[in-house]
Amino acid sequence: MTTPIERIIIRHLSGSKANQIEQLPVGDSREFTIGRDPASKIAFDPVGDSVVSRKHALIRIMGEGDNVSFKLTDAGSSNGTFLNGERVNGEVELLPEDTIELGAKGPKFTFDVQPRPANFAARTKVIGVSDTAATRVIKTAEAAASTAVNAAATGASTAAGPNADGGAPKKIGIGHETVQRLIGEERGKANRTVTGAIAAVVAFFVLGGAALYWAQHRELERRDAEDKLVQNETEERLSRIPGDVNLKIGMKPREIYDKFAKATVQVGMMWRLYDKQTGRPIQHKTVDYKGRRYPAYVQLPNNLGVVRWLTLEDDHITNLMVGGGGSGSGFVISEQGYILTNKHVAAGWQVAYGAEGGRDGILYDYVVVSSGKKRKAKIKEPKLIDLYDSAYADVFHWIPESGGYIFKTDDPTTALAGNTPDPNSNNKASFVGRNEVLEVKFHGSRLGVNASLVRTSPDADAALVKIDSPQTLTKVEMAPNAAVEIGENITVLGYPAVSVENFVLRQTEERGRIRSQLEKITEATVTEGIVSKTASGVKSTEGGTFASDMGDVYQLSVVATGSGNSGGPVFNSSGKVIGLFTYSRNVGDTKATMAVPIKYGAELTQAQRE
């Protein structure tokens, strides 16, 4: 009875898994998938083995027992599957020690099984044999000698004729020694003929080989000379091209990706806002209005505007924590671990809070309660408001770090001493923001690294963070003084949320327990475009003061990205960073993206003024 096959043995010969051996239990499985899909039974590196398709090939088990066989088929891959050097078309038989190659010059591995059944043998090795030279047929010396003897005998009889006495002719005979001598002469002639033929063949090949070598040598010299001539002519032509044209030719997006993806990081964060006086977290009150819960706002007296109804209490656990979370991008600018990103990624409390909690809200009038009275304030009828309305622009653009008013949780009356609306003084409470989480992940890495906020730019959406790394990091090169022109080609790297995500199923063993865990592979995304427009901040000239509604930014044509890419590097065609990808603007279905000039990031690295 045949012993059932327990496992498939894969010996990797090349690719990211070179010199590794995989043992795949067979069990009840009848199919083994091959590809870059993390769910494949034989999975390849999504980055290092890019020639392999996500679903590249399939090994199928046919039959059972003595009739078991294995079949290999291509799963519609982009670069094809090869078995022992031959491209696979349809389904082919797979035998032990067969070599499978995924794409021409792609990863290569051998196939085997254990235990190997006696009737499941490897292919017969076919060895080529050189053709032997044609055998030359030469008359044997004995046959030639016999002919010579007959001719000699005939000649002798004719020449002798009758004797002078008229008697019978004398008998002429050839003795044994004569025959032996003739045989020896013919053998010598045959040997000399064969030796001459061999010498002629050897001379032919020697002379022909020498002639062929010399011809090839001369051809290589000729081609080398032509290549040098073409190279010199190309360099001469390039030297006559203006510098700005060379700049536009520059690096391709794939070249920038290959060189700087490792220097581009994903930044995960979560922050909270706290009252500086009490140390308690700030919360935004929510109210139930006509069956739906909305964030609440307060109309201050004395034309002091509208503010958020902020409180330190949440007895019913219905309020919103003032804070934020999510992920962005960044890039390494020094081998010691300094990283640039956006301020709204690394310090969200220093930028406009917007319509967190929803664009709609409920507005209440501020209630003044006389001192010493212990009665509940009478709240007037609230109204529904839209924060996108220009009348509420101030509350929409509120910066949490700027402070605010702390109200009671039951009625819109200030709760802290001295924290009352006053048009003649700033009685706002002081708030402080704090990162609960600030973590950096590198391209292709499984693990995150804790980061700390170093400083932020007071002029633009830029921030500097720092990580401690035991290894020297790959960094980008900044070009803070580079002239940026409209129409210039740019490349953006980052980690937008809209990108396709790849996962890998890993098995780990800890304290004897095996766990399966699905992990996301951190991979940078590359997007290309041009500089569509440049806009400067406030600038005064003799003609007046000019300003942009978006500040000092570059408008880009890059629209195939979005949330999550904030803080990513914007490269020019020379492979140098000219900006930080920052935010986008949408009007209807039209979208435009913006980048902050890198000069604001470079300023953060200068602790001292030059």
529 φ, ψ (degrees, to nearest 5): -175, -155
| Whole-number percent of the chain with pLDDT over 70 | 77
Q: Answer yes or no: is pLDDT of 139 > 60.
A: no
What pLDDT, on the 0 to 100 scale, is given for residue 228? 78
Q: Which two tokens stand for residue 132?
A: 């032997």
Co-location of 426 and 481 in the same domain: no
Q: Partners of 489 in the beta sheet? A: 530
In a domain, residue 373? The reply is: no
Residue 167 in this model has a pLDDT that exceeds 60: no
Check whether residue 427 and residue 491 sit in a common domain: no
Are 516 and 423 within one domain?
no
Q: How confident is the model at residue 503 (pLDDT cuts 50, 70, 90)?
A: confident
Segment holding 437, helix H or strand E = strand 431-442
Position with higher pLDDT, 301 vs 570: 570
In the prediction, which pLDDT does 522 show?
A: 87
pLDDT of 1 > 90? The answer is no
CATH of the domain at 522: 2.40.10.10
Is residue 396 within 8 Å of residue 308, measured between CB atoms?
no
Between 78 and 514, whose confidence is greater? 78
pLDDT of 561 over the 90 cut: no
Where does a domain end: 105, 122, 139? 122
Is 166 or 453 the better-scoring residue by pLDDT? 453
pLDDT band, very low/low/confident/very high, at 197 (cuts 50, 70, 90): low
Cα atoms in the 13 Å half-sphere on the side-chain side of 6:
4
As for how many domains the chain has, the answer is 3
Q: What is the CATH number of the domain that holds 51?
A: 2.60.200.20
Which residue in the block uniquely carries the two structure tokens 């890198």? Answer: 598
Based on DSSP, count helices (H) and strands (E) in the chain, helices before strands. Answer: 7, 35
In a domain, 157, yes or no: no
Which of 72, 88, 122 corresponds to the end of one domain?
122
**How does pLDDT run across 485-502, given as a tens digit for each residue?**
999 999 999 999 888 877
Instruction: Report if residue 491 sits inside a domain.
Output: yes
In whole numbers, what is the pLDDT of the chain averaged over residues? 81
Quote the pLDDT of residue 587. 79
**Cα–Cα distances in Å, from 272 out to 99, 317, 461, 472, 602?**
58, 17, 19, 33, 28
Torsion of Cα atoms, 333 then 339 then 341 then 346, to 10°:
-170
**Torsional sign, CA 361, 362, 366, 370:** negative
296 and 354 within one domain: yes
Is residue 46 in some structural domain? yes
**Helix, strand or coil for residue 184?**
helix
Residue where one domain finishes, among candidates 94, 122, 150: 122
User: Hey, which bits of 276-399 come out as E strands?
Assistant: 283-284, 286-289, 292-299, 306-308, 310-311, 320-321, 323-332, 338-341, 360-365, 383-386
The three-state (H, E, C) secondary structure of 72-137, written as one string: EEECCCCCCEEECCEECCCEEEECCCCEEEECCCCCEEEEEEECCCCCCCCCCCCCCCCCCCCCCC
* 64 falls within a domain: yes
Q: What is the pLDDT of residues 445-468, one digit of tens each?
A: 878 899 999 999 999 999 999 999
Phi/psi at 172 (nearest 5 deg)? -100, 125
407 plus 505 within the same structural domain: no
Q: Is the pLDDT of residue 592 over 80?
A: yes
How far apart are the C-alpha atoms of 6 and 21, rounded to whole Å? 16
Is residue 520 included in any domain, yes or no? yes
State yes or no: pLDDT of 217 exceeds 90. Answer: no
Q: Given a cut of 50, is residue 148 above it in pLDDT?
A: no
Q: Tell me, yes or no, whether 311 and 392 share the same domain.
A: yes
Stated pTM of the model: 0.58
Domain that holds residue 396: 272-326+348-368+378-434
Structure confidence at residue 268 (pLDDT):
94
Whether 545 has a pLDDT exceeding 70, the answer reads no
Q: Is 47 helix (H, G, I), strand (E, B) or coil?
A: coil
Q: Computed from CA positions of residues 289, 294, 295, 300, in that sequence, does the dihedral angle turn out positive or negative?
A: negative
Has residue 556 been placed in a domain? yes
* Highest mean pLDDT pick, 45-49, 180-184, 548-552: 45-49
Measure Cα distances from 492 to 478, 502, 571 in Å. 14, 20, 6
Note whether residue 213 is domain-resident. Answer: no
pLDDT digits (tens, 9 = 90+) for 279-318: 999 999 999 988 899 999 999 888 888 999 999 988 788 9
- Please state the φ and ψ torsions of residue 149, each to the nearest 5 degrees: -65, -45
pLDDT of residue 164: 40
Judgement on whether residues 414 and 492 belong to the same structural domain of the protein: no
Q: Are residues 426 and 522 in the same domain?
A: no
State whether 512 and 587 are in the same domain.
yes
Q: Which residues contact 102 (CB under 8 A, 6 or more apart)?
A: 15, 34, 44, 49, 51, 52, 56, 57, 77, 79, 81, 82, 108
